[in-house]
Structure 1
Amino acid sequence: MSAFVWLDYSERDRRKMLDVVDLFKEHDTRDELGLGAIRDSFADQFFPGTSTIMTRARYFLLVAWTYQRLERQRVTSARIPERGRRAETDLIEAIEQSDDKEGNIGKYAKTTLKRLPSSVYWHGLNVWGIRTFAGAQSQYHRSLDRSYAQLHRHGGRVTERDAEHDDLIAPNWHAGLVLPPEAFPDECSLRLTRAEAQYLSERIRLSPQCAGTLLAELVARHHHHEDVAFVWQLPYLAEMPLKLREMLEHARNFSEITHGAPLLYNLILAEQERWDEGVEEYRERFAAWAQLVTGRSSILKAWKRNRFWELARAGNPRISAPTYDFSNAWWDRVLGTDPATLCDSQAVRALIRDRERKLKTDLARIGNPRARELWNGDSGSAQLEYRWLISQRLLGDIFKGLEASDA
């Protein structure tokens, strides 16, 4: 039996661990070769506060409204986990009965939902400046009794100094949080009103953790991007600030040159499973990748890798030495020969095999029939897009809300 165990560390670390657990369910985002630290570094710098398991932008408000409502009811620290869970699962049916329910979290699980929207959006609420309480959700729950006592002593006023405890009495939520509709939570959809969309847009543009990011730049531009597969394909890329253009070029190079590695990984597994259709599919995809890389070979060979690693480590200083070594070894192979020949190179296959073994030890699938029993035919084969797809969805919600006729 395997289990993930963690103590009450930082909210960022806890969120990362929970996201890893959820990503095991999504083949497009699995990280079989340990490149996720680099991927997430750029994703966090481009689209702060987002996660691949988010669904719709209005959950940023639904979670905040739910907990504000429970605070007004003075739900105690002991009862808030259960009351919060019930309030969130009650929203599932309300959303399902609405005119906009696509992305309803818990649609099928309902009251047995394992990971609540508050858990999915908790980190993002802080990054976007909607949640002002600076701690994990469990810490927030424990803080409520003391918060109520302080507010009682000060007549309900906030942002004053508590002489007894020598700290500031601060609200847990942004003071300008847009009000929920009168019918909330009995009636609830995932469609943003214009006022709600304006609020989220302002939070992204004004939040210190979002300032200067690609997310803030795109919100300011207010363009729909639903038909763009990768963010570096945006038609107005040349108009963006130099820093963002530089980061996007490095992220694109990494995404394109490393895409062949997971394709080869899946090809090897298909061969070992004697799955002819899969072998044919992955050889075709590998050939298409090799053609793309060959077409950009002059750019990739001139790529300033030292600068790439500076940018990657700026977003995540904990990128490991083995990840650095594997990435550079793969790039050397790709740029040192015809990429189309790599899928049959024993040295390159050994590079992939050894990398997986170092990461997974006895659970590595290559050469291990028992471990391959859990392979569903496609594991982490999608090209890295740095959370662009979910960010498109969140931005689309905001932009549609800004164009809405209702306030």
Structure 2
Amino acid sequence: MRSVTGRELAEATRQIRRADSIRRVSSLIAWLDASSEEQRRMREIVHFFTDRESRDELGLGQIRDAISDGLFPGTSTLLTRARYLLFVPWCFQLAAGKVDPATAADKFERRLIDELRDSDDFAGLLGLQRGTALKTLPSVVYWTTIRAYGVTRDGVASRDEALEWRSDQAVGDDDTATTTSPWSSTLPAMPEGFPTNLTRGFRLTRDEAGWLRDRILERAPGTLMSHLAEQRPDSASSAPWFDEAALRVTGEPTALLHQARAFSTTMHGAALLYNLLLAEEYEAAGFTSVTGAVDDYRAALLSWEEQAAAARIADWRVDELWNWMAGAAHVHVVPRTRRFVDEWAQLVRSQGLRGTADDADARTFIRERERAHKGSGQARLGNRERLALWQGSSGAGALVFRWPQVRRILIDIHDGLESDA
């Protein structure tokens, strides 16, 4: 049976991006002639396009991002593969000294797309669908992470600074000034012939993986990120609090992981109830593109009640989250958002995690929150025109604080550390 290349997945990916639910994804890729191993890899690719962090329908983004940064500093939901942290500086190194470094770096980054498409490890390829017409290049997506983990030399703040760096530019005082590059002096050497002949695709060598691991240990000490750089996460874990390696963390990250789970679980109930209300109004308005959503969200809320009980959210001390936000995170939570979280948590405790779907106070509370967050003109509830655009889910997923993306990056590093080359 022949191998499936990245090029053959372009049409499937276009359809996947338009899919209105995960349940449809399998049928969208079924036409590809592939082995079971290739099917596994394709489903992994699907994951990169469908498992992004939930949309911020209820105005929780400020808290979500602060917790994400605390657990996994320097990351984002746009990350896909660890080797991009090396591909980008290598492209910039090739562009250094050219008449127009910015144009040259752009060309090298786009050439990577075609090379990686034809490799045997292309899951997470930026540009799989659009090819060299990709608008947002990897250097833009990864720049914050590149800086956070010391891939650049300290003091190099932007892509433009790295591109404009002169080979004779001095760093240091008059006595110790040296000529250097904008990149870490220990950056692994680019493969021979780069950016062509990338037969390894995104697979890190042992030396590359060790270097990236060391950057994380040095730049994010005492975080869950650094803990997992040394202990391999489970590729199937759905959230960090369900990952055995993550649960072995000690010290300050333990408390933050507890807060993350409590916040995510508590607020997931609000998101599910919001979507149930949307589903009921959608059905009552006579719209038919989405079917069965009312039953689905009622079932999801019943399941959430069991999960919330297991997570003991009734005992959650919300004030501890606010103390962490103001202290370690240095984030001032918008008062209206803080009030929403406090009052929803209190409502959940008072109604005892039973009958959430039909609780009148909870329903009114969620309706009022949407209007307060979006304004009456943008709210879906009570707005037939906006309701007609609903596709069955609006921020209904539980917050997992960039876990799918971070887990993939860390697994890449551990795979490299365990490789033969």
TM over 0.5: yes
Q: Which residue does the alignment assign to 2:266?
A: 257
Q: Which residue does the alignment assign to 2:171?
A: 159
Q: CA deviation at 1:158?
A: 3.8
User: CA-to-partner distance for each residue in 1:353-407, whole Å, 9 max, x for gaps?
Assistant: 222222222111111121223321112111111111111111111111111111x
Give runs of aligned pairs for residues 71-150 of structure 1, distance below 5 A: 71=96, 73-75=97-99, 79-132=100-153, 133-138=155-160, 140-141=162-163, 144=164, 147-148=165-166
What code does the residue aligned with 2:218 have? L
Structure 1 residues 128-137 or 50-59, which shifts more? 128-137
Structure 2 CA distance for aligned equivalents of residues 386 and 238 of structure 1? 15
Is the 1:162–1:169 contact (alpha carbons within 8 Å) kept by the matching residues of 2?
no
Structure 1 CA distance for aligned equivalents of residues 357 and 88 of structure 2? 47
What code does the residue aligned with 2:211 have? Y
Structure 2 CA distance for aligned equivalents of residues 322 and 169 of structure 1? 52
Decide which of 283, 303, 324 is 2:316's aligned counterpart. 303
Is the 1:194–1:403 contact (alpha carbons within 8 Å) kept by the matching residues of 2?
yes
Is the 2:282–2:388 contact (alpha carbons within 8 Å) kept by the matching residues of 1?
no
SS at match of 2:95: helix
Is the 1:226–1:396 contact (alpha carbons within 8 Å) kept by the matching residues of 2?
yes
Decide which of 232, 242, 251 is 1:233's aligned counterpart. 242
Q: Which residue does the alignment assign to 1:396?
A: 411
Structure 2 CA distance for aligned equivalents of residues 24 and 322 of structure 1? 32
Structure 2 CA distance for aligned equivalents of residues 139 and 350 of structure 1? 52
Specify whether residues 312 and 218 from structure 1 end up closer, same or farther in structure 2 by C-alpha distance, changes over 3 A only: same
TM-score by length of 1: 0.83
User: CA-to-partner distance for each residue in 1:283-322, whole Å, 9 max, x for gaps?
Assistant: 00011101222344xx433322221112233325132111
Q: Which residue does the alignment assign to 2:16?
A: none
Structure 2 CA distance for aligned equivalents of residues 134 and 318 of structure 1? 28
Give runs of aligned pairs for residues 218-297 of structure 1, distance below 5 A: 218-221=228-231, 223-235=232-244, 239-274=248-283, 277-296=292-311
Q: Which residue does the alignment assign to 1:44?
A: 69
Q: CA deviation at 1:27?
A: 6.8
Specify whether residues 237 and 26 from structure 1 end up closer, same or farther in structure 2 by C-alpha distance, changes over 3 A only: closer
User: CA-to-partner distance for each residue in 1:144-203, whole Å, 9 max, x for gaps?
Assistant: 1xx42xx5xxxx37424479xxx9976421111000101211122111111111111111
Structure 2 CA distance for aligned equivalents of residues 237 and 25 of structure 1? 24
Identical aligned residues as a percent: 33
What code does the residue aligned with 1:294 have? A
Q: CA deviation at 1:45?
A: 1.0
Structure 2 CA distance for aligned equivalents of residues 242 and 25 of structure 1? 33
Structure 2 unaligned segments of length 5 or more: list them. 1-47, 284-289
1:193 matched to 2:200? The reply is: no
Specify whether residues 173 and 377 from structure 1 end up closer, same or farther in structure 2 by C-alpha distance, changes over 3 A only: same
Is the 1:32–1:380 contact (alpha carbons within 8 Å) kept by the matching residues of 2?
yes
Q: CA deviation at 1:213?
A: 1.0
SS at match of 1:340: coil
Q: CA deviation at 1:95?
A: 0.5
Structure 2 CA distance for aligned equivalents of residues 54 and 236 of structure 1? 21
Is the 2:95–2:102 contact (alpha carbons within 8 Å) kept by the matching residues of 1?
no
Q: Which residue does the alignment assign to 1:375?
A: 390
Q: CA deviation at 1:233?
A: 2.3
Is the 1:253–1:300 contact (alpha carbons within 8 Å) kept by the matching residues of 2?
yes
Is the 1:158–1:170 contact (alpha carbons within 8 Å) kept by the matching residues of 2?
yes
Specify whether residues 29 and 131 from structure 1 end up closer, same or farther in structure 2 by C-alpha distance, changes over 3 A only: farther
SS at match of 1:339: coil
Specify whether residues 333 and 206 from structure 1 end up closer, same or farther in structure 2 by C-alpha distance, changes over 3 A only: same
Q: Which residue does the alignment assign to 1:344?
A: 358
Is the 1:201–1:398 contact (alpha carbons within 8 Å) kept by the matching residues of 2?
yes
SS at match of 1:29: coil
Is the 2:54–2:398 contact (alpha carbons within 8 Å) kept by the matching residues of 1?
no
Q: CA deviation at 1:26?
A: 6.7
What code does the residue aligned with 2:383 have? N
Is the 2:224–2:246 contact (alpha carbons within 8 Å) kept by the matching residues of 1?
no
Specify whether residues 82 and 373 from structure 1 end up closer, same or farther in structure 2 by C-alpha distance, changes over 3 A only: farther
Structure 2 CA distance for aligned equivalents of residues 400 and 308 of structure 1? 35
Structure 1 CA distance for aligned equivalents of residues 85 and 310 of structure 2? 42
What code does the residue aligned with 1:90 have? R
Structure 2 CA distance for aligned equivalents of residues 224 and 309 of structure 1? 28
User: CA-to-partner distance for each residue in 1:102-149, whole Å, 9 max, x for gaps?
Assistant: 1111011112212111111000001111023442334555xx1xx42x
Q: CA deviation at 1:25?
A: 8.5
Is the 1:38–1:316 contact (alpha carbons within 8 Å) kept by the matching residues of 2?
no
Structure 1 residues 132-141 or 186-195, which shifts more? 132-141
What code does the residue aligned with 1:343 have? A
Structure 2 CA distance for aligned equivalents of residues 204 and 294 of structure 1? 35
SS at match of 1:93: helix
Q: Which residue does the alignment assign to 1:326?
A: 340
Q: Which residue does the alignment assign to 2:89?
A: 64
Is the 2:82–2:409 contact (alpha carbons within 8 Å) kept by the matching residues of 1?
yes
Structure 1 CA distance for aligned equivalents of residues 52 and 118 of structure 2? 30
Specify whether residues 67 and 301 from structure 1 end up closer, same or farther in structure 2 by C-alpha distance, changes over 3 A only: same
User: Following TM superposition, where does structure 1 have runs of at least 4 consecutive aligned residues deviating by more than 6 angstroms?
Assistant: 23-27, 167-170
Structure 1 residues 308-317 or 285-294, which shifts more? 308-317
Specify whether residues 276 and 359 from structure 1 end up closer, same or farther in structure 2 by C-alpha distance, changes over 3 A only: same
Q: CA deviation at 1:236?
A: 5.0
TM-score by length of 2: 0.80
